[in-house]
Amino acid sequence: MASFDLPQARVVKKGGQLMAPPPTPPEDPGPVARQLREALAVAIGLWPLTAVVMLMVGLLIMAGHWSAP
């Protein structure tokens, strides 16, 4: 029967107390994830401008439909 050695969590002693080491920092996102994050940031950042443009287009369409003979 094969035995599997599971890695144990590293524990350090600090001032007589056992403490787990700090977690490793997150990995750097890849280029695709970075582009998606930037696109999402731009879309969220420009939502007021998008809302104003959509309102303006809607009002122009309504004015064109209701004022036409």
Token pair, residue 61, equals 């369409």
* 41 in a structural domain: yes
> Is residue 62 in a domain?
yes
The 10 Å CB-count burial string (b at 16+, else e) for 17-43 is eeeeeeeeeeeeeeeeeeeeeeeeeee
Look at residue 15 and tell me if it is in a domain: no
Question: Is pLDDT at 2 greater than 70 in this prediction?
Answer: no
- Expressed as residue numbers, the domain containing 45 is 29-69
- Residue 46 and residue 54 in contact, taking contact as beta carbons nearer than 8 Å: no
Domains in the chain: how many in total? Answer: 1
Residue 47 lies in a domain: yes
Tell whether 63 is covered by a domain.
yes
With respect to residue 35, please indicate whether it lies within any of the assigned structural domains.
yes
Identify whether 5 is part of a domain.
no
pLDDT band at 17 (very low <50, low <70, confident <90, very high): confident
Model-level pTM greater than 0.75? no
Phi/psi-derived region of residue 15, left when phi > 0, alpha when psi is between -120 and 50, beta in every other case: left
Q: Is 67 part of any domain?
A: yes
Give the pLDDT band of residue 23 (cuts 50, 70, 90).
confident
Instruction: Say how far apart CA 57 and CA 44 lie, in whole Å.
Output: 20
